[in-house]
């Protein structure tokens, strides 16, 4: 995979924080995109990353979940499931477009635009070094951790 440099971007997040990619230079970063707060797959994925979060931090890696939900929705989702990391709101689809995760999906026989569950690892120089698209939740967070630990 080519090491594509990701341009700096900014998103509002939980805990009153504003995420800026440039603030994470010098350490690896996991950004996982998920369709919607409080849905079964997204809840499982968030919990999986949350359980492994101390191991991500042990190798100097930060984790963020991103969806189009509002910060308010994210705050409720994070609190309800006791997620250990911050969630970012991409209501305007800035990061979604940057990472090309908006896809047409079939939902109850209708075509709808939505986020394709995807995860990206960015190195300390803002370069994309690994991507998973069309993610299946079981075992995924562990696979991402294994990759980050191998760096």
**pLDDT tens digits for 95-109?**
999 999 999 888 788
The one catalytic residue in 29, 31, 42, 115 is 42
Q: What is the mean pLDDT of the chain?
A: 95
29-33 and 18-20: which strand pairing? Answer: unpaired
At residue 9, does pLDDT exceed 60? yes
Percentage of residues of the chain with pLDDT beyond 70: 99
Q: Does 42 qualify as catalytic in the annotation?
A: yes
What CATH fold (topology level) applies to the domain 4-10+28-149? Glutaredoxin (3.40.30)
CA 8/CA 127 separation, integer angstroms: 11
HSE-CB at 134 with a 13 A cutoff on CA atoms is 3
Indicate the pTM of the whole model. Answer: 0.95
pLDDT surpassing 90 at residue 57 = yes
Largest distance between two CA atoms of the chain: 45
Distance, in Å, from the CA atom of 151 to the CA atom of 59, rounded to the nearest integer, reads 9
Of 127, 72, 74, 39, the C-alpha closest to 64 is 74
For the chain, the domains span 4-10+28-149
The reported pLDDT for the residue numbered 3 is: 79
pLDDT at 112: 87
User: Model confidence at 68, in pLDDT bands (50, 70, 90)?
Assistant: very high
């Amino acid at each position: 995979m080519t090491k594509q440099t990701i341009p700096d971007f900014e998103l509002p997040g939980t805990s009153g924080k504003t995420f800026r990619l440039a603030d994470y230079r010098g350490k690896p970063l996991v950004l996982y995109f998920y369709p919607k707060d409080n849905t079964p797959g997204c809840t499982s994925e968030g919990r999986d990353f949350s359980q492994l979060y101390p191991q991500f931090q042990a190798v100097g890696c930060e984790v963020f979940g991103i969806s189009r939900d509002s910060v308010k929705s994210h705050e409720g989702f994070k609190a309800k499931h006791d997620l250990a990391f911050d969630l970012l709101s991409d209501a305007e689809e800035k990061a979604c477009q940057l990472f090309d995760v908006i896809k047409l999906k079939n939902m109850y026989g209708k075509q709808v635009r939505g986020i394709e569950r995807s995860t990206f690892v960015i190195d300390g120089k803002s370069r994309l070094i690994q991507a998973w698209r069309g993610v299946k939740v079981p075992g995924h967070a562990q696979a991402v951790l294994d990759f980050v630990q191998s760096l």
